[in-house]
Each structure stands twice: as structure tokens, then as C-alpha cells.
Amino acid sequence: MNGATVADLGLVLPELILTGMALVLILVARRIQSTSVPVVATVLAAAAAVAASWWVLSKEPQSAFGGLITVDGYAQFFKVLVAAALALVALLSVKGLEGSGAPRSEYHVLLLLASVGMMLTVSAVDMVTFYLGLELITLCSYILVGITVDRPSSNEAAIKYFLLASFASALMLFGISITYGLTGTTSFSGVAASIAERGLADDPLQLAALALIAAGLAFKIGAVPFHSWVPDAYQGASTPVAAFLASGSKAAGLAALGRVVVIAFGPDSPALSIILVGLAALSVAVGSVLVLAQTDMKRLLAYSSIAHVGYAVMGLTAGTDAGASATMTYAFFYVFMTLGAFGVVIGLGARGATLDGYQGLASQRPGVAGVMLLFLLALTGIPLTSGFVAKFVVISSAVGAGYVVLAVLAVVCSVVSAFVYMRIAVLMYMREPESPTPARFPVTLSVAIAIAAIVTLVGGVLPRLITDWAVAP
Amino acid sequence: MLLTLSIFIPMLGMVVVLLLPKDNHNLIRWTSVGIAVATFIPIVVLTMGYTDPDGESAADTLLAERERVIAEAPEAARAAILALTAEGVAEANDPGTMSDLAADDERAAHWSLVKGDREAEAAYHEAWELAIAAQAAISQNLKYVEYGNWIPTFNINYILGVDGLSLPLIFLSGLLFILCFVYSFNITKGVKAYYALFLLLETGLIGVFAALDFFLFYVFWEIVLLPMYFLIGYWGGPNRIYAAIKFFIYTLVGSVVMLVAMLALYWQGGYDTFNLLTLIGMSGNFDATFQMWIFMALFLGFAIKVPVFPFHTWLPDAHVQAPTAVSVILAGVLLKMGGYGFFRFSYTLAPEAGTSEFMVMFIGLLGLINIVYGALCAMAQTDFKSLVAYSSVSHMGFVLLGLAAFTPEGIMGSVFQMFSHGVSSAMMFLLVGVLYDRAHHRDLNKFGGIGLQMPYYTGFAIIGFFTSLGLPGLAGFIGEMSVFMGSLNAEGFDWSGTSLYAPLPRWVVYAALPGVVLTAGYILWAVQRVYMGEAKKEEYKTYSDLSGREVFSLVPLAAMCIVLGVWPRVLIDFMNPTLDVLREFITTAGIGG
């Protein structure tokens, strides 16, 4: 293991950009009155981070800081995704936080820092950095969820999230320490080597450690049975924060899970496969069934995100590179379609918060109804939207791994959840409007929704633009 | 190229229509008709040229593609590909080479030459895939094949092609869309969206019949679903939303199960391809249990579309609620997607399962139930449209019966029945629509005396309903007759001296025969109640006869009913070469030949 050098800093350029911007915003926070400055700053930083990731991407995979993190295609893929999600969420926040009384500067600082945590997580190849990254995300998220202090529901959600997340973090830490005790190392490759040597199946303690780490990660991504915080947190948080939790956080959690699965516990991992199949099956089934009963849009999208995480995890069940890249594809497309849907919810304001608000939207705002329909179709998984490609690749890798029953369950559940997405379509297109025409969307929001829509559509027609790029670690 | 054109002209047309001003209804209507005609032109050219023996064969096209892949392949792959070729693949027309190519150990040996190099692996795989596909194309009588890479990561290609099975259905689709567009001039609500969705539907439908890559087929299959859902849900009758959701969910269930079957074929089949022709070429290697699962999963997907009892309940709801033109497309072509799927996918991909004793009996019995149960239900209806809808269920039963028998006459009758039902049911829905536009109700018991008031209309009605009834001299008779002959012939029928193939017992056919009488019963009874006797309401006496628009939509269909009834060889000669090779292939593969 080598020590860190100054040159290593060049490899974490995207993180440095975001951290730098966060520090600047903190310093000048009290002086900023306008709401647009932090938004512009955040979007610029995110764009710079995307550019930096592209720039570093052209190089070979290399490890930095004494093997604590690695900069490879997998990390870059997720860094670009995280930065893009950050930029979109910042754009959504302009309208989403209107009149909420949330301190603008601090809000964006938290978004930036959480994104730094995500970037660390996706590039971590050591249990310690991995845990640090996840904790940074979670800590920022507590405050983000509770940032609208005037609303009791927001505070309640923050407390709930805090209590449950602390518990999950403790579990994971416990798992990490057991693993360290057994293997004498915290690096993923070291753990993998040690497990390959000793064999995982015979060691109940190692299995327990694995289960604890998996449980902690399952909590972070909101997979059943560790999902109970998700609907409450989404509903209590302001809508852009919910969007952030649903997009960037999930992507980072999935990336971390992917690396743990493929590298650390990858070899000889029937136990891990069983855990993942269980998580995937439960998430898909529970998410798809409970989503049917929702009338609040944020809760609806929360249950939908639970189901989608289940689909994304399906890719990992195979434990192969192809499976991991299927999950990457899923995460990428899901982030954009869910951000788009949240964008429409935000744009419609109070009316967008409940299902009934969508009645007759098509006759009042055909464009808005059109993009919403696109996102709903993508969430359902209808061809020519990215959602279909995403479902296709993960289900395909599950079938490839021999989990045909899981695949059948997944497709049946996609039909079940289609019911609720199509109900929104029915409300929009086949009913007469009951509320007045909603105001025009601000430009920032429209831009964010348009980007999400373009990715969703292009991803559906020419998926190779993304799938070629999603290469497992 | 022409096939691609006929698929994507409607989609481009949809964009054009969406850009037109919303309130200029006539502009939108005529533009849409123009687009439908523009779509129909390449279809007609394809149909006219299909029987030309000098046309480029599908195998040639695929082999040319293979040459290209070899030429572009990296050196390592070329060696492997050529090693395979040297052992007798060069002569694609020699059926004996197929087994060489299909042998797994040979492949494995050459695979080791390219293993590890992604590009070489891909090229090797594609060249192999194309060689097998070229072999299979011969046994499928395909023409106008088009080939391109779509999503290379998953070996997904853009492959189109038609044969005597799919081309008539494409022709029918192209024609019906023109007629429907003209008929729909009376739609005034959301005209732009209506025509745009209809055009998207046309893209999906033609694509379904032309696609030869399973993934591509699935995409088109799902494209059909959406516009149909909105057309029923927005322009339909009072209970339209229920009907639309029911249609959507039923069909989605079928298609996702099909998706799993498709993925299982890709992975568990062991050949990593969605290329239908390659899969067909290798289907003999699938073991019996696997075939049974594949057959059942595909069967579910297609059976819901046909619809086969007990998955038929979405159909009457959808038909009754849908606007007339949508019903026409639904009955005329959409249901044929299911029947087409049986021929193109189920039997060719799982020949052993399809010809097994259990399946023959299973499908035969379902056909019997469809015929008799559908007819009994139709007889009990008081809603005119509902009656026609159930008659579709009954008529699609003949398609199943012919399939189960799998004799030459049975198959021919089955396909003929699909086509003639497409014509006659389309016509019947138009006829019901004409009446509904005037009376604004469809209650059979409240009509009467229409014949006196609207003689021309009644003339067309007689042709349409009697075709459905199966009157000799009209199109419906040929299909039903052939199915009965073929399926009665099935018992004791043996294939080239072997008796492994399980025949359909005659009693199933005898049990289905009363269906014909029931059909005559409900049709004659309906005709009597609507067209004969005294007018039950005074307002019926004020009805005007057919308008020019209505005549335009009805004349081509009536003409086809008569022509196909009197001179069925027009269609039979067109499709028989295809059906012969298809049956030959399936029975040979099915009995392990």
C-alpha cells in the first residue's frame, strides 16, 4: 500500500470542485439575498464535475490515496450520473422551494456535500472510504429532509429518517468490523482474496458480516424489508429533496452495492446471490403492490422507487460483469425518469401533490401532460422509452443467471404497477379538468424536465449510447 | 427498403399530423388519408412483386450481410469464421451443411480462436448467426429481408422480412387503415390526436408482421398497445375507461410473459441471439421440457390477443366501447397478431411441443370451446356490436382448430380464416357503426324494417353478415370448410410413413360442427330483427341511405368477400408455398426428423 501523493488530488477533481463550491457558498451564505446565485453556482459546479469526470475518464483505471479509492470507468460513470442528478435537482429547487423558508445557500451546500459523499462512495474500494462516503450522504440528507423547519411533517420525517438510518449505519459498521476481524484488511480486493482462500460458505461469522453489510446498503437504497423510511421521508421532505433522495442517493447506493457484490464478496457468492434475490423479489413485489393504494404523488413515487430499486438489484443477482452493467444502465435511466416525474410534480405546485390534481391536465397543458406521460411510460417500462431498456437488461441478466421465477415475478409486478401509472394517464387524458389551468413552468424547471425527457426518449430508441458506456468494474 | 418505408411512413406521418393546425379538421383528415395511401403503395408493390421468382431471396440477402461481417471482422475472427466456412458452410443452399453449423462442439472449437477479444467474438457470433439464419430463411420462404445492427451489446438486430403468411396481413392492414381514415371523417373530438394515434398504431401493426428479430417484434407489439389504449379510452363509449384499462392490463400480462420466454430463448436456449431465423434454425436442439415451457409462455401471450377462451373477456368490453374505426382495426388486424404469432413463433420455436399429443388436444379443445362458446354468447347478446364481438371469438376458434390439426388443409384454412375474418369482421363493425351513427343505440330488439328504408346499406349488410355466416360463394365459407376438412383428415394422417405425430381426434371436430349451425342462428336472427319486418320507431323511416364516405369504406371489403369466395385461389396460391415449407419444417423438427 502506497501513501497518498499530491498527484492523487488530480484524480478526485470532481469531488474537489464540488467541495470547493460548497465552501465558497458557506462563506458567502449570509451575504446572498438572491435565490438564483446558489442555484447557478451549484449547476456550474456540477457541470464542471461532469466535464472533469469525462476528462479523467480517458485514462486507465488507477487507484489513489493508498488504495482507498479508485478512478475507473465504473466510478466515472456514476460520478457523471451523480453530478447530472445534482444539477437537475438544483434546477428543480428553484420552483420547488418557493415560499418554503428554507435557507437557500445552506440548502445548496448540503446538496453539494451530499454529492461529494456519493462520488466518494462510488469510487471507494476500501470499507473505510466506503462507509465515510455513505455517512456523508446520510448526514446531509437528514438535514435536507428537515430543512423546511416550519413544517411539522418535515421535522417528523427527518427524525424518523435519522433514527432508522443511524441504526442501519451501525449495522453496517458492525459488519465491516467483523469482516476486518476475519480478514485483517478493509480493502475490497483484500477481502475478496481472503474469502477466496478460506471459502465463504463454511464461515457463519463471515456470512453474518455479509448480511449486516447488505442490510445496511439495502437501507440506503430503500429496498424491502428496509424500506419503511422511504415513503415517510419522501412525503415529509420538500419535493426537490425527495427527488434528490430518489435519484442521486439511490444511484450511489446501487453503485456501492455493485462494487461490494462484484469485487469484495464476488467470488464464490451463492450466499450473496440469495440475499440479493430476496431483496429484489421483495422490493419489486411490495413496491408494486403498495404503489396501487397511493393517492399522494410523493408517496406514490416513493413506492415506485422501492419497486425500481428491486429491479435494479436484479441485475446484480447474476454476480457477473454483464449483470453489474445492467444495474448501471438501470440506475442511469431511472435517475432521469424519476427526476422528470418529480419535476412535473413540482411544476404543478399544490395541484401536483395528489392524484386528483392531474384530472384533465392534457386539455389544459398538453405539453406538460405529454412529458408526464413519457415519464409514466418509462416507469411502466413500455418500449421506446428508456424504462423498457432498463427493465429489459436487468430482467435479461436475471434470466441469464437462471432466476427465471424472479424474472416472471418482476414482469408480473411491472403489470401490476402499470395500473397506477396508467391511472394517472387516464386522469390526464380521459377526464375533464376540475381545477384552473396551472401556471406556466419557470424556465429552470422546463430545462430540467426537458433534459430528463430527452434522456428518457433517446435512451429508449438508441440505448447503445449508454449501454456501451456502462462497463462493470 | 420498401418494408421499412411502409413501417415508418405512418410514424413520420404522425409527426406531420401533430404539426398541423389543431382546428383545421379537414386538412388533418385528408393529410392522414394521404399518408395511409402513401403507406399502402409500397405494400402493394411488395405484394405484386412477391410471386416474382427472380426476386432476391432472403438467404442471399443474409449471406451478403455475412460476407460484409466477415470482410469487416478483425483478423482473429476471420480465421475462426473461415475455419467454420471451410467445413461446408459456404454452400448455404445445401441443407446438409446445416447440421455441421449447428453442432455445438464445432462451434466451441472455433469459439476458442476468438475468445477474449470482444470485437472478434461479436463478429464471429454475428457471422454464425447470419449463416444459420440464411439456412432457416430457405425453410421459411421469406423475401424482402432487411438487416441492420440495432443494439449490438445484446445482439439485437433490425431484421424485417415477409412471406405468404405475413404479407396478406400487411396488405389487409394497409387497406383497412385507408378505409378507417375515410370512415372516421365523422369524428369531431380531438381530431388531431385521433389521427396521430391511428398512424402510430399502423406503424406498430405493420412492424409486428414484418419483424424477424424477436426483440424488434416485441417492441412493435408493445407500440400497438398504447395508441389502442388511448383510442378506446378517449373516443370510446360511456364505459370506455374501464374497457381501455382492461385491454391494456390483459395485453400487458400476455406480452410480459412473452418477454420472459424471449429472454429464456436468448439465454437458456444457449445461442445468445434474438434473431428469429437463427432461433428457428436451432430450435431442433432445444430439449422437450424447455420447448414445452417456451410454447406455453408464448401461447399465453398470443392467446390473450386472439383471444382464446378463457382470456377473451377483454374483447367484448373493448369492442363495445371502442369507436367504430377502432373496432374495425381491432377485429380486422389486431386479433390476427395472435394467430400470426402462433405460426411464426410458437410452432417454429417449439416444434416438438407444438406437435405433441398434449398440445394438439389442448389447442383443439380450446378451439372447440371458442367456436361453440363464442357462438352461444353471441346468440345471447342484445347489443349489436357485442354480438359481432362474440362472433369474432367464435370465428377465431376455427383458426385454433386448423392449427391443432396441422394438416395442409387445416393450416391453409386457418390462415385463410384469419384473412377472411379480417375482412368480414371489419365490414360488420363498419355496418354496425353506420347504423349506430343514425340511431345512437345498438339494441337489436329495438330495430326493425331498416331494409326497406336503407336498401343499399342492407345489401352490403347481407354480404357482410353472410360472409361471417359461412355461406358458400363468400369468403368465410372457404376458411371454415378447409378447417373442417383438414381437421377431420387429421386422424390417421401420418407424416411420411412415421406416426409419431399426434393426430387430433375426430370427435373434437364433430363437437365443433354445431358451431356452424349456431353461427347461422345468431346471424340470421340478428338480420331478421334489424333489417326485416316493421320499423319499431318512427324515426327509422327518416334515415338516409349510405353516404359517399360510407360507401367508400364498404365497397372494397364487400368486393373482397365476394372475390375470395368465388376465386379463393388468389389468396391460396399466394400463401400455400409458404405454408407448405412451414409445415414441412415444423413436422420434420417436431417428430425429431
Hey, are the CB atoms on A411 and B229 less than 8 Å from each other?
no
Q: Please count the residue pairs, one from chain A and one from chain B, whose beta carbons lie less than 8 angstroms apart.
A: 78
pLDDT tens, position by position, B153-173: 788 889 998 988 999 999 999
Alpha carbon separation from B139 to A22, A282, B497, B588 (Å, rounded): 67, 45, 21, 11
- With H, G, I as helix, E, B as strand and everything else as coil, classify residue B156: strand
The count of other CB atoms within 10 Å of the CB of residue A251 is 27
Contacts of A423 in chain B (CB under 8 A): 245
Contacts of A463 in chain B (CB under 8 A): 151
**CA atoms of A107 and B505, how far apart (whole Å):** 76
**CA atoms of B392 and B401, how far apart (whole Å):** 14
Contacts of B260 in chain A (CB under 8 A): 395, 399, 404, 407-408, 411
Contact A344, A298 (CB under 8 A): no
Higher pLDDT, A244 or B269: A244
Burial A177-214 (b: 16+ CB within 10 A, else e): ebbbebbebbbbebbbebbeeeebeeeeebeebbebbb
- What nine digits make up the cell of B266? 436468448
Please tell me the distance in Å from B508's CA to the nearest CA on chain A.
34
Alpha carbon separation from A242 to A146, A305, A342, B2 (Å, rounded): 11, 11, 8, 49
State the first-to-last Cα distance of chain B, in angstroms, to the nearest integer: 36
Predicted confidence at residue B83, as pLDDT, reads 66
What is the DSSP track for A267-327? TT-HHHHHHHHHHHHHHHHHHHHHGGG--BHHHHHHHHHHHHHHHHHHHHHT-SHHHHHHH
Predicted confidence at residue B357, as pLDDT, reads 83
- Region of residue B307 (phi > 0: left; psi between -120 and 50: alpha; otherwise: beta): beta
Residue with cell string 418535515: A154
Report the half-sphere exposure of B110 (CA within 13 A, side-chain side). 25
- What nine digits make up the cell of B550? 360510407
The count of other CB atoms within 10 Å of the CB of residue A170 is 12
**CA atoms of B381 and B448, how far apart (whole Å):** 16
Question: Measuring CA to CA, which residue among A148, A142, A197, A206 is closest to residue A168?
Answer: A142
Q: Residue A267 pLDDT more than 70? A: no
Nearest CA in chain B to A407: B260
Please tell me the distance in Å from B248's CA to the nearest CA on chain A.
9
Contact B98, B30 (CB under 8 A): no
Hey, are the CB atoms on B256 and A384 less than 8 Å from each other?
no
Contacts of B259 in chain A (CB under 8 A): 392, 395, 411
Compute the residue count for chain A.
473
What is the Cα B405 distance to its own chain's centre?
A: 19
Burial A43-82 (b: 16+ CB within 10 A, else e): bebbebbbebbeebbeeeeebbbebbbbbbbbbbbbbbbb
Q: Domain locations in chain A?
A: 6-467
Angle between helices B191-210 and B2-19 (to 10 degrees): 170
Angle between helices A366-380 and A321-347 (to 10 degrees): 150
Hey, are the CB atoms on A414 and B256 less than 8 Å from each other?
yes
3-state helix, strand, coil in chain B (%, to 5): 75, 5, 20
Q: What ipTM did this prediction achieve?
A: 0.84
Question: Measuring CA to CA, which residue among A241, A233, A244, A234 is closest to residue A83?
Answer: A244
Predicted confidence at residue B498, as pLDDT, reads 45
> Which residues of chain B, if any, have pLDDT below 70?
82-116, 491-502, 590-593
Contacts of B271 in chain A (CB under 8 A): none
Predicted confidence at residue B1, as pLDDT, reads 83
The count of other CB atoms within 10 Å of the CB of residue B332 is 30
Contact B383, B443 (CB under 8 A): yes
What's the whole-model pTM score?
A: 0.89
**CA atoms of A220 and A237, how far apart (whole Å):** 16
- pLDDT (mean) for A309-320: 89
Hey, are the CB atoms on A418 and B267 less than 8 Å from each other?
no
- What nine digits make up the cell of A366? 398538453
**CA atoms of B472 and B488, how far apart (whole Å):** 19
Nearest CA in chain B to A374: B226
**CA atoms of B402 and A331, how far apart (whole Å):** 47
Of B226, B233, B234, the CB nearest to A382: B226
Contact A296, A353 (CB under 8 A): yes
Alpha carbon separation from B58 to A221, B143, B212, B272 (Å, rounded): 50, 5, 12, 22
Nearest CA in chain B to A402: B268
Nearest CA in chain B to A420: B245
Task: Name the DSSP class of B4.
Answer: H
**CA atoms of B514 and B484, how far apart (whole Å):** 12
**CA atoms of A222 and A234, how far apart (whole Å):** 11
pLDDT tens, position by position, A164-184: 999 999 999 999 999 999 888
**CA atoms of A323 and A15, how far apart (whole Å):** 28
Contact status of B15 with chain A (Cβ, < 8 Å): no
Burial label for B459, CB within 10 Å (0-12, 13-18, 19+), is middle
Contact status of B227 with chain A (Cβ, < 8 Å): no
Q: Are strands A62-64 and B143-151 parallel, antiparallel or unpaired?
A: unpaired
Q: Are strands A62-64 and A69-71 parallel, antiparallel or unpaired?
A: antiparallel
Max CA separation in chain A (angstroms) = 68
Contact B464, B431 (CB under 8 A): yes
Residue with cell string 379538421: B25
Strand ranges, E, within B81-182: 143-151, 156-162
Max CA separation in chain B (angstroms) = 85
Backbone angles phi, psi at A384, to 5 degrees: 75, 5
Alpha carbon separation from B79 to B64, B116, B343 (Å, rounded): 18, 15, 38
Contact A377, B245 (CB under 8 A): no
Predicted confidence at residue B67, as pLDDT, reads 81
pLDDT tens, position by position, B498-537: 444 567 888 888 999 999 999 999 999 999 999 888 888 8
Contacts of B248 in chain A (CB under 8 A): 418, 422
Predicted confidence at residue A451, as pLDDT, reads 95
Predicted confidence at residue B96, as pLDDT, reads 43
**CA atoms of A105 and A22, how far apart (whole Å):** 9
What is the Cα A192 distance to its own chain's centre?
A: 26
- With H, G, I as helix, E, B as strand and everything else as coil, classify residue A13: helix
Contacts of A418 in chain B (CB under 8 A): 248-249, 252
Contact B278, B213 (CB under 8 A): no
Q: What is the mean pLDDT of chain A?
A: 88
- What nine digits make up the cell of B227? 395508441
